[in-house]
Amino acid sequence: MAIERTLSIIKPDATKRNLTGKINAKFEDAGLRIIAQKRIQLTKDQAGKFYAVHAARPFYDELCEFMASGPVVVQVLEGEGAIGKNREVMGATNPADAAAGTIRAEFAESVGENSVHGSDAPETAAEEIAFYFSDLELVG
């Protein structure tokens, strides 16, 4: 399988509970390498731009408020099949549906406050990585 890169976000519910290290250990244990990482505070407007694809959804405003409610850790994960592997490690969007041992099963509080985001396809991964990082910041 090809080496891929994917955009990951550790969300405010997780940074608030000091879970960054525990979540990063899940990525690294799964063979994903963190090749870029920074802790930032998004504005609601910036969160809205990142999640523009969801603008028509009923939860959009709540999602943007939440993503701007505290620090997030944005990261680029690299590895074989990294996009799919990261989604396996994260578990289903709704923690009630997430498989045992996944990040969302262990840490997520609700479908909205679900601890992590991960890109869903190669095209979105490239767009989402470019939203937060320049090429100079990616050190594989």
Chain contacts with ligand CMP (rule: CB under 6 A): 54, 59, 62-63, 93, 111-112, 114, 117
Q: Quick one: 59 or 131, whose CB is closer to ligand CMP?
A: 59
Quote the least distance from Cβ 91 to ligand CMP, whole Å: 11
Nearer to ligand CMP, 10 or 36 (CB): 10
Q: How far is the CB of 73 from ligand CMP (least distance, A)?
A: 13
Active site residue 54: no
| Among 117, 118, 119, 125, the one annotated catalytic | 117
Which of 14, 77, 71 is closest to 88 using CA atoms? 77
- Distance between CA atoms of 77 and 123, rounded to whole angstroms? 15
Two structure tokens written together for 78: 């690299």
Helix residue ranges, H only, the chain: 12-16, 20-29, 44-50, 60-67, 82-90, 103-107, 122-132
Q: Which is nearer to ligand CMP, 56 or 136 (CB)?
A: 56
For residues 117 and 11, the answer to whether their CB atoms sit within 8 Å is yes
List residues with catalytic annotation: 117
